């Protein structure tokens, strides 16, 4: 596990700057590469334009859980995060998913999920999902709600978020653990991208990872594995009333 998140980010960016094209040997996609056996995604080219987030989009909603920055030009960190993969991109043959637990401090109704997922490019529209999951003995359980994302930003850009809205609302209970997850279809898809980290909290937190099939890069295929992030958490928000 990563012991120093800031040092890891600075080291990665420094190495990429020094060895240039050689770094792309870690992957085969222009402007993107992966490390940590494919589990961490790096955009080797930062954003040329930063699109500020419209904070009015969340007007009237309360934050049930999340870590998204309120600074419109730095909602999340553009260029380093967890890999999300459908396993059929050619760039990545292993599927990688990620989930973050949260526990409401009061009974609430979830109407909106937000996440900082971007694509490496290609024909992948609608090929990943934001999911609200039940808990299964401190591990991600069955889906409560799945939102198909049909238009995602490019990984390495900022600050557009992926959003799932549910007007009817989903009831969550005080003191009960739930999970927000970024997944793909279990059938391989062409999606490859990353769930960008946020730096609003530099501590390591509990997370769950899923991969398939069992291979060099996936030791326990088809199962959620719970552990410590080591890095900052990916940017996310669970909103409602």
Mean predicted confidence (pLDDT) in 20-38: 66
Residue carrying the six token digits 């799945």: 146
Number of neighbouring beta carbons within 10 Å of residue 27: 21
Q: pLDDT tens for residues 51-90? A: 998 877 787 899 999 999 988 899 999 999 999 999 988 8
Q: Which of 11-15, 16-20, 150-154, 176-180 has the highest mean pLDDT?
A: 176-180
Task: Note the pTM of the prediction, 2 decimals.
Answer: 0.87
| Euclidean distance between CA atoms 173 and 139, whole angstroms | 17
How many domains does the structure of the chain reveal? Answer: 1
Nearest to 211 by CA among 116, 87, 53: 87
Min mean pLDDT across 6-20, 22-36, 168-182 is at 6-20
- For 17, the domain range is 5-240
pLDDT tens for residues 187-238?
A: 889 999 999 999 888 889 999 999 999 988 898 899 999 999 998 999 999 9
Kindly write down the DSSP assignment for every residue of 152-167, as one continuous string: -PBTT-BS--EEEEEE
């Amino acid at each position: 596990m990563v012991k120093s998140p800031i040092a890891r980010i600075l080291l990665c960016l420094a190495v990429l700057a020094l060895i240039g094209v050689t770094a792309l040997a870690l992957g085969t996609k222009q402007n993107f590469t992966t490390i940590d056996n494919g589990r961490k995604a790096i955009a080797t080219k930062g954003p040329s334009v930063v699109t500020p987030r419209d904070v009015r989009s969340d007007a009237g909603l309360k934050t049930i859980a999340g870590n998204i920055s309120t600074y419109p030009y730095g909602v999340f960190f553009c260029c380093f995060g967890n890999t999300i993969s459908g396993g059929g991109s050619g760039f990545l043959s292993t599927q990688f998913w990620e989930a973050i637990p949260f526990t409401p401090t009061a009974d609430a109704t979830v109407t909106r999920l937000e996440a900082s997922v971007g694509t490496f490019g290609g024909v992948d529209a609608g090929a990943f999902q934001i999911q609200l999951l039940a808990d299964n003995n401190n591990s991600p359980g069955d889906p409560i709600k799945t939102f198909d994302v049909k238009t995602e930003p490019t990984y390495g850009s900022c600050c557009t978020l992926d959003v799932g809205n549910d007007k009817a609302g989903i009831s969550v209970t005080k003191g009960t653990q739930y999970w927000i997850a970024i997944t793909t279809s279990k059938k391989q898809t062409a999606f490859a991208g990353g769930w960008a980290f946020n730096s609003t909290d530099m501590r390591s937190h509990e997370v769950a990872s899923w991969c398939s099939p069992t291979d060099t890069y996936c030791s326990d295929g088809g199962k959620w594995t719970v552990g410590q992030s080591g890095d900052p958490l990916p940017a996310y928000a669970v909103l409602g009333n």
